[in-house]
Amino acid sequence: MNEESSTSLESEIQRRQLEQARELVKLMESGDDLQAGKLIEELGRMHESLLFQQIGKLTRDLHEALNGFRMDSRLSEITEEEIPDAKERLNYVVVMTEQAANRTLTAVETVLPLIESLTQQASELGSDWQRFRQRELSADDFRELSRKLDLFFEQMNQNSELMRRNLSDVLMAQDFQDLTGQVIRRVINLVQDVEENLVGLVRISGQRLSNPDAKFKQEQKDTATLTTGTGPTVPGTSDAKQEVMTAQDDVDDLLSSLGF
Amino acid sequence: MKILIVDDFSTMRRIIKNLLRDLGYNNTSEADDGSSALPMLQNGNFEFLITDWNMPNMPGIELLKAVRADARLKDLPVLMVTAEAKREQIVEAAQAGVNGYIIKPFTAETLKEKIEKIFERLQTAD
């Protein structure tokens, strides 16, 4: 209820009550009991009607506030769609980071034994080579050393190719930071949105706050996000509502249908 | 060949830079969004542009349109590497004149294949 109008209403009523009270004292002093009785009744009625007026106004305010709340589509959209979506998006972050960590760990676990084996062989060959330089090797020992050397070179070739492949896998696994970063930024935006709407809700409960612009703003936002981009497509969210390419092959097919 | 890599995530720029080095392209520069990339392109004899879509300030699609609208840059080959995968967006990029479109996450092989395809096409067009 508007504070200013309620105080002016109250003071008006008070002024009239005071007037009638003085009138009542006069009537009682002059001994006019009949008129005094009527005045007492009227005073009671006035009090009641003030109460009813105030209750009526409160009811109307509450009704309008509830309607305004219901019409604020942004808030219902957030609760019905975007909060559940945000949970899926954060789940996607958990899955992606886990995959990246496992991919990296697998590569490291593959490469470490390869390096150990090469180091081991190199140190054995090193000591054989020292013995050869000091002319301590027999002809048979030398044949054995050259056989080991052949084997070492062959393994070196194979292992370095394997190590290269695993290291590039570690490199590619880091793409999770970009993909999850985009998703997390989107959730941060939602949290800000929720915060703003909650502040609005607090204001509504204080005084009626209608927000007819909310829906229009949201529509504008939807077309704008296609240009700015919305980040990775997360399964199980509203992302799936639009036609989305899930694999590079789909993109290639679409582009070739467009004459690429 | 001088290549500009545009992405707001430095990790992704490093990944692409390393993949390009593997493919034999060592002369790369980086920018973190369209508005910093455009002046670099206008001043720097770049022969190839690889750009993300979702970036602050100037998104990749706007950068692509700005490149096509610039008399000196209009023929620059542009490869989009992005997580944006809506049909509408891919069509928009195609209409804006993109030369290739890769969706993240991608593989080293995909990047190699698309770059080779773009240059093959450009050679046959000449």
Backbone CA torsion sign across A148, A150, A153, A157: negative
Q: pLDDT digit string (tens) for B23-32?
A: 999 999 999 9
Residues 160-179 of A with CB under 8 A from B: 168, 171-172, 174-175, 177-179
Residues listed for chain B:
126
In angstroms, the CA B24 to CA B1 distance is: 10
User: Of A41-55, A134-148, B4-18, B92-106, which range is least confident?
Assistant: A41-55
Spell out a b/e string for A51-85, using b for 16 or more CB atoms within 10 Å of the CB, else e: eeeeeeeeeeeeeebeebbeebebbebbeeebeeb
- Does this model's pTM top 0.90? My answer is no
Contacts for A86 with CB less than 8 Å, ≥ 6 apart: A187, A190
Give A111→chain B minimum CA distance, Å.
19
Residue type for A57, please?
Answer: K
Contacts for B50 with CB less than 8 Å, ≥ 6 apart: B3, B4, B5, B6, B16, B78, B79, B80, B81
Q: pLDDT digit string (tens) for A107-126?
A: 999 999 999 999 999 999 99
Contact B24, B3 (CB under 8 A): no
Give A80→chain B minimum CA distance, Å.
23
Mean pLDDT of the region B88-114: 96
Q: What percent of chain A has pLDDT over 70?
A: 87
Q: Which two tokens stand for residue A117?
A: 């084996």
Give pLDDT, residue A216: 53
Q: Residue A240 carries which DSSP code?
A: G
Tell me the average confidence (pLDDT) per consecutive run of 10 residues in chain A, 260 residues long: 60 82 87 85 81 86 74 76 92 94 94 93 94 92 94 94 95 94 93 85 64 53 74 84 86 88
Q: Which two tokens stand for residue B26?
A: 């060592």
